[in-house]
Amino acid sequence: MFDLNIRGKSYGENIELAMEASKYGWKHVSFSYDQNDYEDALSFKDDLKDDLKDFIDVDYTLYIKSNNPSEIRKIARKYRSKSSCISVLGGNLKVNRAVLENVQIDVLSRPYFKRYDAGINHILAREAKENNVALEIVFSDILNSYLSHRSKVLANFRDIYRLHRKYKFPLILSSGAESVYDIRTVHDFMAVFAQTGLNDFEVEKAFETAEGILNFNSNRKNLILTGVRVVE
């Protein structure tokens, strides 16, 4: 089971988070860092992977936070070859559109962020499908919301599910965990998303999509066109 969005912290804190995730049945976690912290975090990535290799597979997600589409494109180009996953925090409609039109970006995270709607319509759903950009729904948005706000979050989730079923764009589910207290067992994680309106197949497919992003990017340097790989 793959989680591409656990908030990256210090080396020691990452070890603690990863070990907790391993104990709860997760196979892979990616620590997310924004563009201001990503370069520094790369300095201990190899040591982190080596120290955890007997327990859980780990990697990094570049988690871009910007309301400027031009800046987002520039950052994505800069780090594409250094990143197993590039994700962008959504919410701003200009950002949502720019991300879903960009084949160099893997994930639009939380398109509903700070919105009263899902942040995506049928036009953007088609763009996501055409450019193979996944939409990410985050568990912590359920965990950290209450009453009417939680009801709105769940309504936004269901709107995304309806578009996902109709247009077949990639969908991933992540924890967004910031501490060990935010991590749940794989079983509990899946059960919660089943309660939000996804069936078991759709939840499993979301995990497969997350794994597929990592596999695709591990071969990206050998790709001539999508689906066409250089074989030596």
**Is the separation of the CB atoms in 58 and 31 below 8 Å?**
yes
Taking alpha carbons only, the member of 5, 24, 19, 22 closest to residue 188 is 24
pLDDT at 228 over 80: no
The whole-number pLDDT of residue 178 equals 97
Amino acid at 67: N
Taking alpha carbons only, the member of 64, 69, 112 closest to residue 89 is 64
Task: Please give the radius of gyration of the chain, using alpha carbons only, rounded to the nearest integer.
Answer: 17
The tens digit of pLDDT for each residue in 18-31 reads 999 999 999 999 99
The whole-number pLDDT of residue 219 equals 84
Q: What percent of the chain has pLDDT over 70?
A: 95
Q: Which residues contact 71 (CB under 8 A, 6 or more apart)?
A: none
Class of the domain covering 2-229: alpha beta
The whole-number pLDDT of residue 226 equals 54
The tens digit of pLDDT for each residue in 89-106 reads 999 999 999 999 999 999
The whole-number pLDDT of residue 220 equals 75
HSE-up (13 A, CA, CB side) for residue 224: 4
Residue 36 backbone phi and psi in degrees, to 5: -85, -25
pLDDT classification of 221: cutoffs 50, 70, 90: low
The tens digit of pLDDT for each residue in 35-54 reads 999 999 999 999 999 999 99
pLDDT at 230 over 70: no
pLDDT classification of 224: cutoffs 50, 70, 90: very low
The tens digit of pLDDT for each residue in 48-94 reads 999 999 999 999 999 999 999 999 999 999 999 999 999 999 999 99
The packing angle between helices 69-79 and 93-100, to 10°, is 40
Q: Any alpha helices (H) in the chain, and if so which ranges?
A: 11-23, 38-42, 45-52, 69-79, 93-100, 122-131, 140-143, 147-167, 186-195, 200-218
As a whole number of angstroms, the distance between CA 145 and CA 159 comes to: 18
The whole-number pLDDT of residue 49 equals 98
**Is the separation of the CB atoms in 164 and 128 below 8 Å?**
no
Q: What average pLDDT does the segment 161-174 reach?
A: 98
Q: So where are the chain's domains? A: 2-229
HSE-up (13 A, CA, CB side) for residue 183: 22
pTM above 0.85, yes or no: yes
pLDDT at 134 over 60: yes
Instruction: Give residue 147's region: left, alpha or beta (phi > 0; psi -120 to 50).
Output: left
As a whole number of angstroms, the distance between CA 40 and CA 12 comes to: 15
